[in-house]
A and B are shown apart, each in its own frame.
Chain A
Amino acid sequence: MAQTQTPSAIAAPRSPYARRKTTRGNFELYSWVFMRASGVVLLVLVFGHLFVNLMVGEGVHAIDFAFVGGKWSSPFWQVWDLLMLWLAMIHGTNGVRTIVNDYAQRDSTRGVLKVLLYLASTIVVILGTLVIFTFTPCPPGAPAELLPSICFPN
C-alpha cells in the first residue's frame, strides 16, 4: 500500500507568498496629481498672503485685530484664506499620510497614526472654516481703537 501521508514536520516547500489583495483604484493617482497642482496654487496663495500682510503699506506693523477684521470683511480675502486653509491642510495631511505609509512598518501603528492625523486635520479645517465665515469684525462693546474703520460708517 502506498504511503501517501507524510509527517508535517517539514513546511510545505512551495508555501505561497502572501501578497495582499490588490488595492487598485485611482485614489493614489488623484492624490499624486493633487499634490503637484495644490503645490503650485499654494505658492501663489502663500506668497500673495505674505506680501499683502507683511510688505504692502505699513507692512508688518499694521497687523492687529483691525487689520485682520478689515481683510475678512471682504469676500475676496475670505475666499483667498479659505482656499489657502483647505489646500494647505489637505496638501499637508496627504504628505504626512504618505510619510506614515512609508515609515510605519506595522499595520496597527499605521492605522493609529493615520486616525490621529485625520482627526487633527479635520478639527483644524472645520475650526478655520468656521472662523473665516462667522468672524465679526465689530463685536459689540469692544474698545473703539481696536476696531477696523468699517465699523464706523460715517
Chain B
Amino acid sequence: MTAVLENPATESPKPEVGAIPSFDVTLRIRRYNPESEHGEESIWDEFTVTAHGTDRVLDALHKIKWEQDGSLTFRRSCAHGVCGSDAMRINGRNRLACKTLLKDVNPDKPITVEPIKGLPVVKDLVVDMEPFFASYREIMPFLITSGNEPTRERLQSAEDRERFDDTTKCILCAACTSSCPVFWTDGQYFGPAAIVNAHRFIFDSRDEGATQRLEILNDKEGVWRCRTTFNCTEACPRGIEVTKAIQEVKRAMITRAF
C-alpha cells in the first residue's frame, strides 16, 4: 500500500511538487543499562523524531540512535525482514521493527517499543537469545539420513515439499517463542520456534530422524505444554501457521503412540 496524503490543503503552505509528507512521531522505549545511573532498573525513555509515511519503526530507531542518543542499543542486520535480528515488542505486540511501518502502528500516540519478553535483557532492546537457541539445537535442526550419500541431489516431489513448506520460512527471530505465555512462566518450554523447526524436518520425506525428534519433543516441556493460544501465529512476521504446525507434531506423536 502506498502512503496517501489525506488533507493536502491543511498541510504546511504550498508543499513542493514531489515532496514527501512528513510527521512527528514519539517513541517510548523501554531502556535498561545496568551501568547507567538507573542501575538494575529499566526505564521508559521518550524520543520524538520526524518521519515519513514510508518509514518503518527501525528507521525511527536509527534516527534516534544516529541523531539523538547514541547509547540506544538494538539489534539489526539486514533491515529487510530476512535476518530476524530486530524482533521487538511494538505497541504490545511482537513484530520486526524493519517490517512495521510507523503509519501502521498509530503514530498519533507514542509508540511503545520494548525488548521481547521471556528472555533476559542484556541492554535496552537486546536480549540474550541463548535459551532460545539452546532449545533450537536440541531438536537437531539438520538433515538426518542413513545409507550411502547419493552422488547427486536428494530429489523430492513437489507434493512432498509442500508438506512442510510453511515451516521452512522460519527466520529464528524469536517473535513467536517470546509471545508465548507458557514460555513466559519459566522459560523451560521448548517454544514454538523449536517445534516449527522440528516440524520442518519431521515432515520432510528425505529425513529419517523423525522418531528421534518426536521423542525429544515428547517431553514434559515439549509440545504438550502448548495451550493453543495462537499468540505465536499472530506474532510470526513470516506468516507461518505456527500453532497448526505444533498441532501436527502432536498428531504425529499420538498416531505413533497408538
B220 surroundings in chain A (CB, below 8 A): 23-25, 27-28
Q: Known contacts A17-B131, A20-B188; is A102 also within 8 Å of B182 by CB? A: yes
B216 within 8 A of partner (CB): yes
Q: Which of A2-10, A29-37, A58-66 contacts B (4 or more CB under 8 A)?
A: A29-37
B219 within 8 A of partner (CB): yes
The count of residues in chain B whose C-beta lies closer than 8 Å to any C-beta of chain A is 25
B215 surroundings in chain A (CB, below 8 A): 24
Interface of B is mostly: helix
Alpha-carbon gap, A101 to B216, bound state (A): 20
- Would A28 and B222 count as touching, CB distance under 8 A? yes
Interchain CB contact (< 8 A) of A24 among B130, B218, B257, B258: B218
- Would B224 and A28 count as touching, CB distance under 8 A? yes
A103 within 8 A of partner (CB): yes
Alpha-carbon gap, A32 to B254, bound state (A): 10
Alpha-carbon gap, A17 to B132, bound state (A): 10
Whole-angstrom distance from the CB of A14 to the nearest CB of chain B?
Answer: 9
Interface residues of B in 202-258 (CB under 8 A from A): 215-216, 218-222, 224-225, 227, 250, 253-254, 257-258
The count of residues in chain A whose C-beta lies closer than 8 Å to any C-beta of chain B is 19
Alpha-carbon gap, A27 to B130, bound state (A): 28
B145 within 8 A of partner (CB): no
Alpha-carbon gap, A19 to B222, bound state (A): 13
B26 within 8 A of partner (CB): no
Residues of B that sit less than 8 Å from A by CB: 130-131, 134-135, 138, 181-182, 185-186, 188, 215-216, 218-222, 224-225, 227, 250, 253-254, 257-258
Residues of A that sit less than 8 Å from B by CB: 17, 19-20, 22-29, 31-33, 101-105
